[in-house]
Amino acid sequence: MPNGPYTYPLAMEDRLPTRITFQAMEVDPPEFTAGDRAGYVNGNSFTDLFSTSEATRIRTADKLVNSAGDVGIKGLEVSERTGEKVSLYLNLPFQVNDEFSYNTNALNISGAAALNELEAGGGAISAAAKGVIEGFSNITSLFGSGSASIGARIAISRLANSPAGFLVPEGIRNAIGLAARVTINPNLRTTFDGVQIRQFEFAFKFLPKSGDEAREVKNIIRFFRFYAYPREILLGKAVPIGFDYPDMFKIKLQSNLGGTFKNIGTPIKLSYIRSVRSIYNPTQQTFHADGEPVEIDLQLAFVEYKTLAKQDVMAEGTEDFYDINTKKSEKDYFDEGDISGPDPVRGELR
């Protein structure tokens, strides 16, 4: 297991204008804790639930319900691993991409009519009915001036492209569309599908000036690789049956202001390492006297453990931002008075 903290460069850590720190975070998963009667739950009593005797089934169910009161659950806990931290120089631009997923869906005539009803304050059932009625009436009202009317042309174009249109050869369907010289409006609307998980990449070039600094770089790479991998879950001492989740990282970008480092930029949620890429002596084949390379490139990719929401943006600048169990609302942060941001009621910045 790595024994940090680690720093690069060794002699200038406190004088760096900017730095990035990676703090290893231990994730302690929820655990079930059993009470005095929990042995009943863990035994073979569940088979009694399927007994042919109704009295046995009722008695067993009653015991299981009562036993459940003695079975608790310890919540998920995340804490810093003491000393397990890496501080590196940061002399490259840092880019943060907040991305969101949107899609385009066709409502057609009935759906557009229903949406108008809902947005005007109508109920869901009345909106559905309104969509059917208006979707039909909007077409039929176009019929008023004979077969050459717009309504007739739209109707024949819709028929040619409807599920029943497969009976008409494709060439004729296309000809009908061209002759009618109209196109059905699909009434497209943009729909919000969700928030994308953010990913971050960092690249570092190490040029160790001594064997000690080269060994520090070696320890730094081992640190990231160690915490990137999961631990095997073994059956007995030899049979691997699963993996524990790897640890996460608290990543902070900081600037040096008079010897004190302050957080800068958009913060990053607790993240997993997605990849670690090490390149030794990429441009030269030279080594220190002890055999350590004189040039090492390290490329790291991280992925946040969750998507962000407004509450996360409000929590930026506080430790709540890194707390997995915090469930505050926008209004909670605003009412505390020491966090600037949009008023969740009026939508105004303060």
Q: Is residue 219 part of a domain?
A: yes
Q: Is residue 186 part of a domain?
A: yes
Examine the domain organization and report whether 140 and 276 are in the same domain: no
CA distances from residue 232 to 41, 76, 241 in whole angstroms, order as listed: 28, 20, 8
* Contacting residues for 53 by C-beta, under 8 A, at least 6 apart: none
Instruction: Give the pLDDT confidence score for residue 273 in this predicted structure.
Output: 95
Examine the domain organization and report whether 210 and 290 are in the same domain: yes
Instruction: Give the pLDDT confidence score for residue 221 in this predicted structure.
Output: 95
Per-residue pLDDT of the chain (350 residues; tens, 9 = 90+): 677 799 998 876 666 788 899 999 988 877 655 555 445 554 445 567 677 778 887 777 777 666 655 555 566 788 899 999 999 988 667 888 889 999 988 877 667 776 676 667 655 445 444 444 444 444 444 444 444 566 666 666 666 666 555 555 666 666 656 565 566 677 888 888 899 999 999 999 999 888 888 899 999 999 999 999 988 887 777 777 888 889 999 999 988 877 788 888 889 999 999 999 999 988 888 887 777 888 899 999 999 999 998 888 888 888 888 888 777 776 776 666 555 555 544 455 44
Q: Is residue 343 part of a domain?
A: no
Examine the domain organization and report whether 59 and 79 are in the same domain: no
Q: Is residue 212 part of a domain?
A: yes
How would DSSP label each residue in 201-261? EEEEEE--SSHHHHHHHHHHHHHHHHHHSPPEEEETTTEEEEEPPPPEEEEEEEEEETTEE
Question: For the whole model, what pTM was predicted?
Answer: 0.69
Strand pairing class (77-89; 6-8): parallel
* Contacting residues for 144 by C-beta, under 8 A, at least 6 apart: 151
Q: Is residue 340 part of a domain?
A: no
Domain count, the chain: 3
Instruction: Give the pLDDT confidence score for residue 143 in this predicted structure.
Output: 43
Instruction: Give the pLDDT confidence score for residue 302 in this predicted structure.
Output: 96
Q: Is residue 346 part of a domain?
A: no
Instruction: Give the pLDDT confidence score for residue 141 in this predicted structure.
Output: 46
Examine the domain organization and report whether 217 and 253 are in the same domain: yes
Q: Of the residues 290, 308, 326, which one is the last residue of a structural domain?
A: 308
Q: Of the residues 175, 192, 209, which one is the last residue of a structural domain?
A: 192
Where on the phi/psi map is residue 71: left (φ > 0), alpha (ψ -120 to 50), or beta? beta
Tokens 């480092």 locate to 261
CA–CA gap between residue 17 and residue 156 (Å, rounded)? 71
Where in the sequence is the domain holding 112, given as residue range(s)?
Answer: 102-192
